Amino acid sequence: MTVGEREAILALLNSPHVTAPTRRALLERLDARYARQFFDEAEFGRLRALSVRLVPHDPAEMDLAGTVDHRLHSGVGDGWRYADAPPDGEAYRALLAALPEGFEALGGEAQDAAIPSIQSSHPYAFEDLLAELTEAFMAHPLTQYRFGYAGFADAPEWPRVGPNELEPREVAYGPR
């Protein structure tokens, strides 16, 4: 994240356009870095490498693998899972174990070639992990800024909502 991106994100989050609860949640996400607690070091390395292939991002900018690890360690869930699927942590460990040895050190093309086999052999875990990573990516303020999304500016409501219409705050705080 560049200094300019960070400044623009903070300007909007600290503006009167954002309510206090939304501001707290997004500021927490902006700099969230979690110490590995659920997965062992090897599993976490595979998770980080897999997360970058599934949802291309810079782990230095947003810690998607750490977000997953943190959720599993804290025991928080989204309230559902397939009836015949094991708990998320167990399912994710099996998914990561099915990756080739040294997956994290392989080149991008070799990593991509290995993904379809785990997708077909662990479909529930793969689908859940992909959804979880995507949700964390899309909920991150940097992603929202880069996409030009200002929908979280929730304080003054949205007086004009229509195709190709921008509120002044969207123009002022969108990517340049």
The pLDDT value given to residue 171: 57
Q: How many CA atoms lie within 13 A of 22 on its CB side?
A: 18
Cβ atoms < 10 Å from Cβ of 101: 8
Mean pLDDT, rounded, for 15-34: 90
The pLDDT value given to residue 168: 66
Q: Which residues contact 54 (CB under 8 A, 6 or more apart)?
A: 115, 129, 130, 133
Mean pLDDT, rounded, for 7-21: 89
How confident is the model over 76-100, as pLDDT tens digits?
877 777 788 888 999 999 999 999 9
| Calpha distance 46→102 (Å, rounded) | 8
Domain residues for the domain of 28 are 3-173
Q: How confident is the model at residue 154 (pLDDT cuts 50, 70, 90)?
A: confident
The reported pTM is 0.84
Residue 39 backbone dihedrals phi, psi, to 5 degrees: -85, 155
How confident is the model over 48-70, as pLDDT tens digits?
999 999 999 999 999 999 999 99
Of the candidates 143, 151, 145, 142, the residue with the CA atom closest to the CA atom of residue 173: 145
More confident residue, 173 or 60: 60
Query: By the 8 A CB rule, do 145 and 61 touch?
Result: no
Query: What total of structural domains would you count in the chain?
Result: 1
How does 148-158 read in b/e, with b if 16+ C-beta sit within 10 Å? eebebbeeeee
Outline where 32-151 has alpha helix (H).
41-54, 64-74, 88-97, 108-121, 123-138, 141-147
| Calpha distance 20→45 (Å, rounded) | 35
